[in-house]
Amino acid sequence: MGATAWSSGLLVEKIGGRRAVTWGLLLLGLGTIMRGLWTTVFSLYLFTVLLSLGIALTQTTVPVLIRRWFPSHIGLVTALFTDGLIIGETIGAGATVPLMMRFLGNDAWPATFIFWGIPLVVLLAIWLWLAPPAPPMMLASLSPEET
């Protein structure tokens, strides 16, 4: 995450925060589900890199959007975001093995990736539906080369 934060910030400025989170969630969901479909060692590493890029892009972009969308409640919204990350990670880590063993069987570990990828797809759909649209570009802010 630290290695990609700077480049993620540049990408956010280039494509916008809403689009960056959309791409981040897409990479995260795709990488997670693909890990469950192709379980060779190489593909597990490859799709882990893909989902890690999605995590890095999304988690470095959300604070920028918090500052823009909630300027008078930055502390509260940042705390909610951070607490949501911690709670989600804790539930995921604590619930995966019991859920896998109860519903999927002892040898169904690849299915857990798909199981946890489904909420990401739902989250992406909710994000696309509820996230405020990006503001239109103003011609006055463009440099002479861009007009």
Q: Map out the domains of the chain as residue ranges.
A: 2-131
| pLDDT-based confidence at residue 136 (cuts at 50, 70, 90) | low
- Alpha helices of 16-40 — where are they, by DSSP H? 17-37
- Nearest Cα to Cα of residue 39 among 123, 124, 107, 119: 107
Q: pLDDT tens, 31-54?
A: 999 999 998 999 999 999 999 999
Asked if 96 and 112 count as a contact pair (C-beta separation under 8 A), the reply is yes
Torsion region of 137: left, alpha or beta (phi above 0 gives left; psi -120 to 50 gives alpha): beta
